């Protein structure tokens, strides 16, 4: 029953729906809550023996919220892991903290329709 519910909830298209609502989600997000959630995820991964290498927002990015990026940067420094920066502000913050900040395109394609993904990725690596 749980597996069926999970599949229904996270079936094809759930990432696209999340992207469609990211502005609304990020507008409601409280910086302290985001930091608590990220810390909990980091601790859970470490407890499971997973070697955490970096923090990454994946399909939601950081929404351009400098306060959220700064909270995430603080956690990255505390846990001695890297942090992916999606915005100019983020790359500037990384550089000002003595971290490497590459300005390279991302291959993430959550917002690209499934039928267009292959061509999108081919174009991105050319």
Q: What is the DSSP code (8-state) at residue 87? A: S
Comparing 16 with 125, the larger pLDDT belongs to 125
- Out of 30-39, 64-73, 74-83, which region has the weakest mean confidence (pLDDT)? 64-73
The C-alpha atoms of residue 109 and residue 14 are separated, in whole angstroms, by 14
Average of per-residue pLDDT across 19-24: 71
Q: What angle do CA 117, 121, 124 make, to 5 degrees?
A: 140
Give me the residue label for tokens 């993430």. Answer: 108
Residue whose tokens read 């003595």: 98
* Percent of the chain topping pLDDT 90: 17
What's the pLDDT score for residue 4?
A: 44
- Tens digit of pLDDT for each residue in 77-93? 999 998 888 778 878 88
User: Does residue 30 carry a pLDDT above 70?
Assistant: yes
Task: Let me know if 50 is exposed, middle or buried by CB neighbors in 10 A (0-12, 13-18, 19+).
Answer: exposed
Pairing type for strands 54-55 and 82-83 reads parallel
- Please count the other Cβ atoms lying within 10 Å of the Cβ belonging to residue 78: 10
Q: In this predicted structure, what is the pLDDT of residue 69? A: 84
Residues whose CB falls within 8 Å of the CB of residue 45, separated by 6 or more in sequence, listed in order: 52
């Amino acid at each position: 029953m749980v597996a069926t519910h999970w599949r229904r909830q996270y079936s094809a298209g759930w990432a696209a729906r999340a992207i469609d609502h990211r502005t609304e989600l990020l507008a409601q997000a409280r910086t302290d809550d985001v930091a608590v959630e990220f810390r909990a995820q980091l601790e859970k991964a470490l407890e499971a023996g997973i070697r955490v290498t970096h923090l990454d927002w994946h399909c939601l990015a950081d929404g351009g919220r400098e306060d959220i990026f700064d909270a995430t940067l603080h956690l990255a420094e505390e846990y001695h892991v890297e942090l992916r920066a999606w915005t100019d502000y983020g790359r500037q913050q990384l550089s000002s903290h003595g971290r490497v900040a590459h300005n390279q395109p991302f291959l993430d394609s959550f917002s690209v329709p499934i039928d267009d993904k292959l061509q999108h990725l081919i174009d991105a690596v050319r």
